[in-house]
Amino acid sequence: MMKTKLMVLFAPFLQINVQDGSFADIGGLDPTLSWSDSTTAGDLDIEYGIEAAAKPTSDLASLPKKVWGKASTNVSGWGVSARADFEGLDFSKADVEIDATNDDGDIDIHLEASAGDGFGVQKVEATKRLDSDGAAISINPRYNLDTEEADVVIAYSKDDTSIEITASQDAQSVTFSQQIDDDNRVAPTLASNGDISLEWERDLGGGNSLTATLKPNESVDLEWEDDSWTANINLPIDGTDITGANVSIKREVNF
C-alpha cells in the first residue's frame, strides 16, 4: 500500500500539508495549515506561528496542533536565539531550543530543553570550525543528557573531497564524499557495526538534481528536485524485494 504526503507552500508565510497516511480516497487525508509571521521589538527579532488541523469541526480548541515563537538578538558578539514549541493550546510546558553563534570565533552552540514545572536540559552540542591549508574542518561534540550518550562528528573538506567521521564509545562511522565530475557525486558510508550505505547525486542542470541513497536490505531513498517541485520517495526493501512505497511531494509557490 502506498503512503503519500502532499505539501503545498505559499511562500513565505502559508503552508498547507496533507500528512502521511494510508487511504483509499480523499476522505482519509489529514490536512494541516501552517502560518507564520515576524516582527521586531527593540533589539529583538521575533517570529511566531501556528500549525492547525484544516478540517471541519465544531471544537475550535482542537484545531491547533502546535504554537511556536522565536526571539533572536545579539549579545557581546554572539548571535543568540531561543525558540519555544507548545503542543496545541497547552502553554504549561514547551520544547525549547537555544542557539548561540560567534562568527569571529567560528563557534556554534545548540541546546535542547523542556520547560514546565522546571527547566531541564536534554541535549547540548557545539561546533568549532577551522581552516587549515585550504581545507575546511569542523569539530562537533554532542551530548544527550537523557540517555547519557556522547559522540563527536569531525568533518574535513577540500576541493572535491570531503570526509565525515562520527565516533562514540560504542559505534563509529565514516562517510567519504567524492565529486566525480561536474554532474555526479558519490558518498559511501561505513559503520563499525557492518552497516553500509551509498549515496549518488546527479546534477540535472538548472539547479535541479536527483539523489539516490541505497541502504542494503533496508531501503532505497530518492529525492528529485525539479524547479519549484521536490519529490521524496522511500522504498523499503527486503533482500531484492520492494515491500512498499512512501511518497512526499512539495511545491513552493511565490506570489
Grid coordinates belonging to 41: 521589538
- Residue 136 falls inside a structural domain: no
Residues 99/80, Cβ–Cβ less than 8 Å: yes
- Residue 246 falls inside a structural domain: yes
Q: Which domain holds residue 208?
A: 159-255
For 48-62, write each residue's pLDDT tens digit: 998 887 666 666 566
3-class state of residue 241 by DSSP: strand
For 173-202, write each residue's pLDDT tens digit: 999 999 999 999 999 999 999 999 999 999
For 69-123, write each residue's pLDDT tens digit: 999 999 999 999 999 999 988 888 999 999 999 999 999 999 999 998 889 999 9
- Residue 119 falls inside a structural domain: no
- Residue 76 falls inside a structural domain: no
- Residue 23 falls inside a structural domain: no
Grid coordinates belonging to 121: 536540559
Count of CB atoms situated within 10 Å of the CB of 204: 12
3-class state of residue 30 by DSSP: coil
Q: Which residue has the cell 500500500?
A: 1
pLDDT at residue 253, as a whole number: 53
- Residue 236 falls inside a structural domain: yes
- Residue 214 falls inside a structural domain: yes
pTM: 0.74
Q: How many domains does the chain have?
A: 1
- Residue 183 falls inside a structural domain: yes
Residues 16/242, Cβ–Cβ less than 8 Å: no
> Is 209 a residue whose pLDDT tops 50?
yes
- Averaged pLDDT of the chain: 85
Rounded (5°) CA angle 249-252-255: 155
